[in-house]
Structure 1
Amino acid sequence: MLQVMIGLGLVLAVMAGCAWLLRRFGGMQRSSAGAIKVIGGSAVGQRERVVLVEVADTWLVIGVAPGHVTALHSMPKGEITGSTGDIASTAGRTGTDARFSEWFRRVIDKRGREQHD
């Protein structure tokens, strides 16, 4: 029994060492600045959301529902400004979701007025 426990411990130690080496030397590269950043989002239904996502220098407005992701709009990064300043500079602060919701409502209202005209 002791021999089995020592063998199991050795195998687990080798696996942990391999995982550490892979992380250390780039086998599983994880960068702190990911390629995709969620700027904000707003629920538009019980299971549907509209989310503002930053990819490189572009912001994408996407609709997310169970089983579906739809691109709604794309714009250059930092295009949205409001009374509280630029969302790009305040993305890490609390309240980003509220500013995004306000911006999204204005866009929907504007598009609704354009369609009725």
Structure 2
Amino acid sequence: MTTHARLLTIFFLALPLGAGAQPAAPVAPPLPAGPATAGLLQTLFALIVVLALLGALAWFLKRYGPKAMGGSANLRVVGSLSLGGRERLLVVEVGKQWIVVGASPGRVNALATMPKQEDMDADADAGDAHAVLAPHAQPASSFADWLKQTIDKRK
């Protein structure tokens, strides 16, 4: 063996196994658990307080906030009839007239307008259902005729 090979052998045998690694940094002692736990509890408490304030504000606005009725005092649904799964026929009172409206999921169409029928409101207040239906048999059939004519015109 040459001198050079001997020196390399001695060098590698003399090295400790972890010689390629850097020396370990001193380990800091663990911090006491009190301040970290207190900070976490304080943050959690603040979150709960903020969520409670949001809930209380939402309840207050729902209970005492502005009403969504805007200008709907002159608007009411007089009656409705289901025509199928999602189609409806509505009679809507607007001011002094009734509007017959066809409503489907994608569209709302005004089909007809007619003057408000005052005597129907008086009969309905009396509570006699037969009195409400019997006097209005003729206007109902005329509406049926009108509806039939309108459908025929569209075809």
TM bucket normalised to smaller: 0.5 to 0.7
Alignment correspondent of 1:29: 67
Give the aligned length: 99
Native 8 Å contact 1:23 1:29 kept in 2? no
The higher relative CO (CA closer than 8 Å, separation ≥ 6) is in 1
Question: Where does 1:24-63 land on structure 2 (aligned, <5 Å)?
Answer: 24=64, 26=65, 28-31=66-69, 34-35=72-73, 36-63=75-102
Q: Which of 109, 112, 115 is equivalent to 2:145? A: 109
Q: Quote the offset at 1:89 in angstroms.
A: 6.3
Alignment correspondent of 2:152: none
Q: Please state which structure has a larger fraction of its residues in helix.
A: 2
Structure with higher Rg: it is 2
Q: Please state which structure has a larger fraction of its residues in strand.
A: 1
Q: Quote the offset at 1:17 in angstroms.
A: 3.6
Runs of 4+ in 1 over 6 A off after TM superposition: none
- Listed as ranges, the gaps of 5+ residues in structure 2 are 1-39, 150-155
Q: Quote the offset at 1:21 in angstroms.
A: 4.8
For the aligned residue pairs, the C-alpha RMSD in angstroms reads 3.8
The 1:75–1:109 alpha-carbon spacing in structure 2 relative to 1, beyond 3 Å, is: closer
Q: Distance in 2 between matches of 1:103 and 1:9?
A: 65
Q: Quote the offset at 1:22 in angstroms.
A: 7.2
- Listed as ranges, the gaps of 5+ residues in structure 1 are none
Question: Where does 1:72-91 land on structure 2 (aligned, <5 Å)?
Answer: 72-77=111-116, 79=117, 81=119, 86-87=120-121, 90=124
Percent identity of equivalent pairs: 34
